[in-house]
């Protein structure tokens, strides 16, 4: 099991390169309040044609190990794929696989079995069921189901529950307002 951390946001569209850090998931140690990660891979990538876009959503297909990023500020937004195996010693160029008729996508997650994809912007959550096991570029041509959602202040995170019972959303701390973890069945 790995943890992936994306340094992929770019509010001003100023950066040619984006970075994803990958490291083995640390073991839970009840005696240790802080763990320092010293062994990690750094995946450097760019978008095609040297595009500089804000990409805040990152998810992985655990079956293929391909990584995906989704742009934020365009309408439509674009979905890019970083195919496995990805290099940790050379710059990779992500490939555009889809565009979606929405904007402001800030988070996405694909369930571990690859059957359920969710994406969110600040006001909506979109859901695709992939029980047929279609490639993502084909699945994303289908119209998603809009899932009921109570917008939260600067809600920029979404993740499936490990037991597949639902998903979580989380806000950034925004101008002194409290941030809460929400669960949706």
Average pLDDT over residues 134-142: 96
Helix ranges (H only) for the chain are 136-139
C-alpha of 173 from chain center:
19
For 64-89, the pLDDT digits (tens) are 999 999 999 999 999 999 999 988 89
pLDDT on residue 80: 97
In this prediction the pTM is: 0.93
Residue 33 pLDDT exceeds 80: no
The pLDDT value recorded for residue 66 is 97
pLDDT per residue as tens digits for the range 150-179: 998 889 999 999 998 999 999 987 777 788
Which burial class, exposed, middle or buried, applies to 143 when counting CB atoms under 10 A from its CB (0-12, 13-18, 19+)? exposed
């Amino acid at each position: 099991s790995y943890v992936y951390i994306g340094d992929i946001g770019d509010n001003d569209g100023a950066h040619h390169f984006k970075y994803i850090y990958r490291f083995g998931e640390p073991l839970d140690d009840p005696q240790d309040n802080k763990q320092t990660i010293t062994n990690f891979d750094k995946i450097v990538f760019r978008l095609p044609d040297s595009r500089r876009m804000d990409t805040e959503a990152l998810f992985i297909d655990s079956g293929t190990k391909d990584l995906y990023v989704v742009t934020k500020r365009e309408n439509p937004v674009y979905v890019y794929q970083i195919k496995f195996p990805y290099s940790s010693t050379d710059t990779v160029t992500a490939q555009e696989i889809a565009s979606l008729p929405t904007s402001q996508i800030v988070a996405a997650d694909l369930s571990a079995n690859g059957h359920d994809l969710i994406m969110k912007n600040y006001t909506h959550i979109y859901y695709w069921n992939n029980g047929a096991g279609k490639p993502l570029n084909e699945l994303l041509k289908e119209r998603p189901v809009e899932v009921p959602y109570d917008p939260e202040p600067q809600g920029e995170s979404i993740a499936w529950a490990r037991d597949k019972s639902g998903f979580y959303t989380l806000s950034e701390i925004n101008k002194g307002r409290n941030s809460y973890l929400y669960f949706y069945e």
